[in-house]
Amino acid sequence: MAGMDLIMGVAQQQTLSPQMQQSLQLLQTPVAELRQLVATELASNPVLEEESPAIESTESFRDNKALPERASSLQEEWRDYMPQAASTAHYSSQDEEKRRYLFESLASRPTLRDFIIDQAAGLDDRERRVVEVIAGNLDQDGYLRMDHAELAVASGVSESFLEKTLEKVRQFEPAGVAASDLADSLLLQLARRGEGNGLAARILRHHLQLLARHRYDEIAKHFRVPSADVVAAAKLIATLEPKPGRPFSNADEQGVIPDLIVIPDGESFVVRLNEEDLPRLRISKEYKDMLAERGNNEDLLLYLRGKIRGARVFLRSLQQRQQTLLAIGNEIVSRQKDFFRIGASALKPLIMAQIADVVGLHVTTVSRAVSGKYMDTPQGLLELRYFFTPGFQNSDGTAVSNEMVKQAIREMVDQESSRDPLSDQEIVTRLDERGLKVARRTIAKYREQLGILPSHLRKSC
């Protein structure tokens, strides 16, 4: 029987303080959930109180900024992990490792992102970093609609490495996750069931639009199979989940609330934080006076010091969250002014790395800061991720976004003759005449994303 030995060793371990957990949680939280967090903190910390509307906000701001020296180390720690928006410093690999550790260690309620990252435990460090970026860019339905080239840049890997890692993620649960669109997600689910080459899969690949319109007889003629087989395949498809991320969505979600509001101001635009129903907090003067009087009750003094310190950390973290989000919003508006004036046709290519360089944050920080947050604009309510889009080079050297190309495709199809609709190749030619070099397969992909049928199905007799 083997004996038991006691072995001593020394190891380094990073720890995440509750204060830092709170700071990072506030940064990543959309405004609707932020209101709940603020209300919870207000209820749990007796030294916090809601400002009276009659009190000047400048007094509260000055009071919350005046931190005692005993909190200076915590302030420096915050700067280490989340630089100020005005900072343009470059960070060492050790700094980036700490930042990744903080985001990965952040405890929160179970989400689709957390669920995906947990399944990457068996992958190597490089693959796990890519999985984290992929998981952070999944939309609420579980689809990955971001451009792969931009995801590769955000992950710090080649596009081919990202593609290989993505294929592994597409085998994770829930089935169909990380698909590019509905058909892709359903095909992944069929493959999981061993039906990847069956009739149902062939229908999804070639005749999804006919299936949506229940044109079973036409599908049967195309594949030269009985209509009953097509009906059976349709029933199989109906058992699949069109939104793999649905189980992770909030059951009590009550619509989208914008975090930022863009308001026209003459020829320019002003970005404001949506702070409606968000209480303005301050530290109660009564409790500060009690601490200043330094009575004989040491237990009470220790309690008050802890609560006041916690309140100041919360207020500073909340302010940091607002400043960071506002800085990102201002930079988006600065770069996309034509979009706010004209619309999607004027949207310029933009990647998160460009914003990160200006506001002094790491690109993964920007990615998480904008995740799940919306902006109310003159062009409608849009997710912040909408503004980050790759593009194409025009013949005159200017860059245009893929949204602009989609807009051009939509306009061409709207103006085409129903008796002689434009083929994908004809759309390529017309875009080329405008100075845009776009591949035919790219046109087909954008056409499907826009819900536009192929030319032979748009043709009327």
The angle that helices 18-28 and 31-44 make with each other, rounded to 10 degrees, is 150
Domain assignment present for 23: no
**What pLDDT was estimated at residue 89?**
36
Q: What average pLDDT does the chain have? A: 77
Q: Which helix (H) or strand (E) holds 103?
A: helix 93-105
**What pLDDT was estimated at residue 70?**
34
Give how many domains the chain has, as a whole number. Answer: 2
The torsion region of residue 390 among left (phi > 0), alpha (psi -120 to 50) and beta comes to beta
The torsion region of residue 156 among left (phi > 0), alpha (psi -120 to 50) and beta comes to left
Residues whose CB falls within 8 Å of the CB of residue 293, separated by 6 or more in sequence, listed in order: none
Give residue 448's domain range. Answer: 391-458
Report which DSSP code applies to 47.
T
Tokens representing residue 110 in the block: 């179970």
Domain assignment present for 298: no
Report which DSSP code applies to 453.
P
pLDDT of 16-35, one tens digit each?
566 666 767 787 788 888 88
Rounded average pLDDT over 269-296: 80
CB neighbour class for 99 (10 Å; exposed up to 12, middle 13-18, buried from 19): buried
The answer to whether the beta carbons of residues 364 and 154 sit under 8 Å apart is: yes
**What pLDDT was estimated at residue 72?**
38
Angstrom distance (rounded) from CA 138 to CA 130? 13
Given a cut of 80, is residue 400 above it in pLDDT?
no
In this prediction, residue 255 has a pLDDT band, given cuts at 50, 70 and 90, of low
User: Which among 108, 171, 101 has a CA at the least distance from the CA of 132?
Assistant: 101
The answer to whether the beta carbons of residues 438 and 392 sit under 8 Å apart is: yes
**What pLDDT was estimated at residue 12?**
54
Phi–psi pair at 192, nearest 5 degrees: -65, -30
Strand partners, 374: 383
Domain assignment present for 411: yes
Residues whose CB falls within 8 Å of the CB of residue 263, separated by 6 or more in sequence, listed in order: 269, 270, 271, 272
Distances in whole angstroms, Cα of residue 416 to Cα of each of 28, 153, 227, 410: 45, 38, 33, 10
Residues whose CB falls within 8 Å of the CB of residue 100, separated by 6 or more in sequence, listed in order: 129, 132, 364
Domain assignment present for 213: yes
Distances in whole angstroms, Cα of residue 76 to Cα of each of 64, 79, 345, 369, 375: 16, 5, 44, 21, 31
CATH number of the domain where residue 432 is located: 1.10.10.60
In this prediction, residue 393 has a pLDDT band, given cuts at 50, 70 and 90, of low
- Which of 243, 277, 293 is the C-terminal boundary of a domain? 243
pLDDT of 140-185, one tens digit each?
789 998 888 878 887 888 999 999 999 999 999 999 999 998 899 9
Rounded average pLDDT over 185-206: 91
Domain assignment present for 98: no
Q: Which helix (H) or strand (E) holds 144?
A: none
- Which of 243, 268, 296 is the C-terminal boundary of a domain? 243
List the alpha helices (DSSP H) in 336-401.
Answer: 337-342, 352-359, 363-370
Angstrom distance (rounded) from CA 184 to CA 164? 17
In this prediction, residue 358 has a pLDDT band, given cuts at 50, 70 and 90, of confident
Domain assignment present for 47: no
Domain assignment present for 437: yes
Angstrom distance (rounded) from CA 27 to CA 34? 9
Strand partners, 380: 377
Rounded average pLDDT over 433-453: 79
- What percentage of the chain has pLDDT greater than the value 90? 17
Angstrom distance (rounded) from CA 399 to CA 392? 6
Strand partners, 141: none
**What pLDDT was estimated at residue 250?**
52
Task: Please identify which residue in the block is written with the tokens 């410093």.
Answer: 89
Higher pLDDT, 222 or 460: 222
Given a cut of 70, is residue 191 above it in pLDDT?
yes
Q: 10 Å Cβ neighbour count for 461?
A: 4
Angstrom distance (rounded) from CA 301 to CA 292? 9
- Which of 212, 227, 243 is the C-terminal boundary of a domain? 243
Q: 10 Å Cβ neighbour count for 263?
A: 11
Domain assignment present for 123: no
Q: Which helix (H) or strand (E) holds 458?
A: helix 455-458
The angle that helices 18-28 and 298-335 make with each other, rounded to 10 degrees, is 30
Given a cut of 60, is residue 69 above it in pLDDT?
no
**What pLDDT was estimated at residue 18?**
64
Q: What three-state secondary structure class fits 198?
A: coil
Residues whose CB falls within 8 Å of the CB of residue 161, separated by 6 or more in sequence, listed in order: 126, 130, 152
Task: Please identify which residue in the block is written with the tokens 């995740």.
Answer: 371
User: Which among 46, 58, 50 has a CA at the least distance from the CA of 287?
Assistant: 46
In this prediction, residue 56 has a pLDDT band, given cuts at 50, 70 and 90, of very low
**What pLDDT was estimated at residue 396?**
52
Given a cut of 50, is residue 64 above it in pLDDT?
no
**What pLDDT was estimated at residue 452?**
84
**What pLDDT was estimated at residue 409?**
85
Q: What three-state secondary structure class fits 239?
A: coil
pLDDT of 85-126, one tens digit each?
333 334 455 544 554 554 444 444 567 888 898 899 889 989
pLDDT of 307-347, one tens digit each?
888 888 888 888 888 888 999 999 999 988 888 888 776 77
